Amino acid sequence: MKIWIIRNIRFIKNLSVFIVAVVTNLISNGLYSNFIEKQIFTPSLVIKFLITCILFFAIIFLFNKCSDLLIEHLFPEVYEERSLIYANKLIKKATSKTQQRINTIDRLDEKVLESLSSDALNDLIESCYSFFESKYSSADGNLVSIKFEITFMTLSYIDNEITIPYSCNENRQSPTSMHNRKDNMKIYNNTETAAVYREADGNKEPQMRIIEDTDKAEQYAELYSGQKHRIKSSIIFPVLSPDKHLLGTIVAHCDKANFFRKSKSRYWREYMEIFSAPIGKEKLILDIINKYLPADKKTF
């Protein structure tokens, strides 16, 4: 039944475009014939033609917009499924980049392997950002686009405190808090990611956290003045190893309050899981490599 309804709505959409094209063509031919017969193109005819075209295109635009909203309202899972398919395509693209790098290697040692995994993690975080930027940046039709930032937070191999080795945002700049971390390596101790680590230390399987509106979330502590003006809604998703060991968190931020909603936690969990598996794999490789490296050679 659902597929039948969607197909018919789309059929009507396509039919409406066809009708507009036919009617516009008939009006154009009629005006052209009138011009040939009378050798005059009166302003009134031009105005009528323009008004007719504008009205038809306005009707088609509104109909298409309303039909899309109707499908989204009745069957939101249709758009969610498309988004998940797109996320998987981004993963395949990132994986393909890693394979291309492997093809150029003539020898494999821990340094090369470390570089491969580090580059792969960077590609995966960028892919995660690309998903949000392309799917949701201007999805609501606002003139001001939504700005996103994706970070991978984990424990540093150097000082064993939480850090952000991989991130991606509009300007491709390191998070502001990371600049402050140079003077305070415990800067992330009161973050949601730190809470996830404490949850894991308590022998509990850490769960995804959604902050719908940071202004209303008392537990959401600012790391620097004005952070809540830039970060208004967040998802914190734990990345786990096969034996449920916490490897870090994928954190998605945006500057629109209530963008991430707990009511859509099922969808966001499915999406985050797509990226968490390959990210976890690369992080496990880095864990093994850095376990045997001297302090001055560690990755981060």
HEC letters along 87-98 = HHHHHHHHHHHH
Contact between residue 222 and residue 112 where contact means Cβ atoms under 8 Å apart: no
Tens of pLDDT, residues 238-280: 999 998 899 999 999 998 999 999 988 988 998 899 999 999 9
Residues in the chain: 300
CA distance 271 to 283: 19
Alpha carbon distance, N-terminus to C-terminus of the chain:
53
Tens of pLDDT, residues 27-67: 666 666 665 566 555 666 666 666 666 766 676 666 666 66
The CATH number of the structural domain formed by 76-297 is 3.30.450.40
- Which contacts (CB < 8 Å, 24+ apart) does range 50-53 have? 52/23, 52/24, 52/27, 53/24, 53/27
Contact between residue 95 and residue 121 where contact means Cβ atoms under 8 Å apart: no
Is pLDDT above 60 for 121?
yes
- Name the pLDDT band for 210 (thresholds 50, 70, 90): very high
Domain range summary for the chain, segments of one domain joined by +:
2-74, 76-297
CA distance 300 to 296: 10
Q: How far is CA 211 from CA 102, 219, 249, 258, in A?
A: 39, 10, 14, 8
Alpha helices in the chain (DSSP H): 2-38, 43-74, 76-103, 110-136, 176-181, 192-201, 227-230, 265-291
Tell me, what's the pLDDT at 195?
92
Encoded tokens for 158 = 């150097």
Alpha helices in 104-154 (DSSP H): 110-136
Contact between residue 53 and residue 31 where contact means Cβ atoms under 8 Å apart: no
Greater pLDDT, 138 or 93: 93
